[in-house]
Amino acid sequence: MSRLKSWKELPLGGLILEAGNARTYKTGDWRTERPQVDKAKCINCFFCWAYCPDASVIVDADRGTMEGFDYDHCKGCGICASVCPKQAITMIPER
C-alpha cells in the first residue's frame, strides 16, 4: 500500500473540469449579510469592483457607473464595503 502524499508533495495548480461552471451554480446562498449601495454617496471609483474576490459587482461600462451586485454569486464577505472611500456600501443582514 502506498503512503499518502503530504501537502508539500502535491503539485501546484488546480484542475478545472468544466470551464465557466461558476455561472451555473448559485454560490451566494449561504451568506449572512449582503452589500447594499447608496447611489447618492457612490462616486463610481470602482474600488468595490476591483477588490471583489467573486466578481459580484455589476458595472455599466458604457455609463461608467456601479449598478449593484450579483447576489447569486456574492458571498457577503464585506470587502466591497471596507474598501469604499465614501462608505456608500453597507452590509445588511440577509433576509
- pLDDT tens, residue by residue, 17-73: 777 666 777 888 889 999 999 999 999 999 999 999 999 999 999 999 999 999 999
The CATH number that domain 27-93 falls under is 3.30.70.20
Q: What is the pTM of this model?
A: 0.76
Q: Which of 71, 65, 64 minimizes the C-alpha distance to 35?
A: 71
Q: What confidence tens digit (pLDDT) does each residue in 23-37 have?
A: 777 888 889 999 999
Reported confidence tier of residue 10, pLDDT bands at 50, 70, 90: confident
Domain boundaries, the chain: 27-93
